[in-house]
Amino acid sequence: MPEFPTLLDVIAARERISPHLNRTPLHHYRALDELVGAEVWVKHENHHVMGAFKIRGALNVIAQLSDEEKSAGVVAASTGNFGQGLAYAAGIFGVDSVVVVPEGSNTGKVESMRRLGARIVFHGSEFDEASEYADRLAKQEGRRYIHSANEAGLVPGTGTYTLEIMEDLPDVDVIIVPIGGGSGACGACIVSKALNPKVQVIGVQSDAAPAQYLSWKEGRVVEAPMETKAEGLATGSGYADTLKIMTELLDDFILVSEEELDVAVVNHLTYTHNLTEHAGAASLAAAVKIKDRLAGKKVALIVSGGNITVDQLKSALARNSSNGSS
**Each residue's pLDDT tens digit, 266-295:** 999 999 999 999 999 999 999 999 999 999
Confidence of residue 321 (pLDDT cuts 50, 70, 90): confident
Q: What is the pLDDT of residues 173-184, one digit of tens each?
A: 999 999 999 999
Sheet harboring 74-77: ordered strands across?
119-122, 97-101, 74-77, 144-145
Does 47 score more than 70 pLDDT? yes
User: Which sign, positive or negative, has the C-alpha torsion 228, 229, 230, 231?
Assistant: positive
Does 24 score more than 60 pLDDT? yes
Same fold, 7-53+152-323 and 54-145: yes
Distance CA 214, CA 104 (A): 26
Q: Which helix (H) or strand (E) holds 121?
A: strand 119-122
Contact predicate 303/280, CB 8 Å: yes
- DSSP annotation of 23 reads P
Q: What class does CATH assign to 7-53+152-323? A: alpha beta
Residue 108 or 250, more confident: 250
Distance CA 237, CA 230 (A): 15
Closest CA to 228 of 158, 180, 184, 283: 180
Domain locations in the chain as residue ranges: 7-53+152-323, 54-145
Distance CA 255, CA 246 (A): 15
Does 79 score more than 90 pLDDT? no
**Based on the number of CB atoms within 10 Å of its own CB, is 115 exposed (0-12), middle (13-18) or buried (19 or more)?**
exposed
Contact predicate 120/271, CB 8 Å: no
How far does CA 309 lie from the centroid of its chain?
17
Fold of 54-145: Rossmann fold (3.40.50)
Give me the amino acid identity at 11.
Answer: I
Does 102 score more than 90 pLDDT? yes
The pLDDT of residue 1: 40
How far does CA 144 lie from the centroid of its chain?
22
Does 2 score more than 50 pLDDT? no
Cβ-based neighbour number of residue 171 at 10 Å = 10
* Sheet strands (E) in 174-222: 174-178, 200-206
Phi/psi for 2 (5° steps) reads -65, -30
Average of per-residue pLDDT values in the chain: 95
